[in-house]
Structure 1
Amino acid sequence: MSGITEPLTFPPAMSGEEVGGDPFDGAVMRAIRGCDAGLVCYRIAADRMGAALVMTPEVPLQQAMVMLPLCGVGFQNALGALAPPEVAVHLAWAGGILVNGAACGVFRACASTQDPEEIPDWLVVGFELPLTLAAIPGEVPDQTALFEEGCAEVAPERLVEAWARHTLNWIARWEDEGAKALHSEWRGLAHGLGETVVQDGWPGTFLGVDEAFGMLLRDSETTHLIPLTTLLEEAP
Structure 2
Amino acid sequence: MTGSEHATHGGTYGTALVLPPLFTGVAAAGPGAVFAQACALAGPETAGTLVHADDGRDLAFAVVLVPAEPLRTARRAFLVCMGALADAIGSLAPPEKAIRFGWPDVVRFNGAILGGGRLAWPRDCAEDAVPDWLVFGATLIVSKRHAGDPGLTPDSTSIEEEGFPVEDRGSFMKCSAQFLMRAFAIWGEDGFPPLADAYLSRLSGDAAPCAITETGDCITGARTLLLRPALEAVAWCDPETGSPRL
Common topology (TM > 0.5): yes
- AA aligned to 1:168 is M
Gaps of 5+ in 1: 196-204
Instruction: Give the alignment partner of residue 49 of structure 1, picking from 40, 48, 59.
Output: 59
Partner of 1:112: 122
* Count of aligned pairs between the two proteins: 218
1:5, 1:155 → 2: CA distance? Answer: 7
Instruction: Quote the residue 2:7 is aligned against.
Output: none
Match of 1:145 among 158, 163, 182: 158
Going from structure 1 to structure 2, the CA distance change for 1:94 and 1:225 (only over 3 Å counts) comes to closer
Aligned to 1:66: 76
The 5 Å alignment of 1:102-181 reads 102-113=112-123, 115-133=126-144, 134-153=147-166, 155-181=168-194
- Measured after TM superposition, the shift of residue 106 of structure 1 is 1.0
Greater mean deviation of Cα atoms: 107-116 or 95-104:
107-116
- Check the 8 A contact 2:58/2:141 in 1, yes or no: yes
Structure 2 residue 226 is matched with structure 1 residue 216? no
Task: Determine which structure has the larger strand proportion and give its number.
Answer: 1
Residue 162 of structure 1: how far off its partner (Å)? 0.4
* C-alpha displacement of 1:154: 6.5
Structure 1 residue 161: deviation in Å? 0.8
Instruction: Write the distance in 1 (CA, Å) between the matches of 2:167 and 2:15.
Output: 17
Question: Residue 233 of structure 1: CA displacement?
Answer: 4.3
Contact persistence 1:206–1:215 (CA under 8 A): no
Deviation per CA, 1:192-217: give whole Å up to 9, x if none. 1xx0xxxxxxxxx4644433330235
Report how far residue 153 of structure 1 moved. 4.1
Cα deviation digits, residues 20-39 of structure 1 (max 9, x gap): 1421111001116x651011
Distance 1:5 1:35, change over 3 A: farther
* TM-score normalised according to structure 2 size: 0.81
The answer to whether the aligner puts 1:92 opposite 2:91 as a matched pair is no
Within the alignment, does 1:13 sit opposite 2:22 as a pair? yes
Amino acid at match of 2:58: R
Distance between the aligned counterparts of 1:225 and 1:86, measured in 2?
29
SS for the counterpart of 2:186 is helix
- Among all aligned residue pairs of Structure 1 and Structure 2, give the percentage whose two residues are the same amino acid: 26
Is 1:37 aligned to 2:61, yes or no?
no
- Between the aligned partners of 2:167 and 2:80, the Cα distance in structure 1 is 22
- 8 Å CA contact retained: 1:57, 1:122: yes
Give the Cα separation in 1 of the matches to 2:87 and 2:21. Answer: 20
Q: Hey, what's the Cα distance between the residues in 2 that align with 1:66 and 1:154?
A: 33
SS of match in other structure, 2:171: helix
CA contact (8 A) 1:75 1:163 kept: yes
Contact in 2 for aligned 1:99/1:146 (Cα 8 Å): no
Distance in 1 (CA, whole Å) between partners of 2:29 and 2:178 is: 23
Counterpart residue identity of residue 87, structure 1: K
Letter in 2 for 1:19: A
Alignment counterpart, residue 81 of structure 1, candidates 65, 68, 91: 91
> Judging changes above 3 Å, is the alpha-carbon distance between structure 1 residues 107 and 124 closer, same or farther for their aligned structure 2 residues?
same
Return the alpha-carbon distance in structure 1 between the equivalents of residues 73 and 168 of structure 2: 33
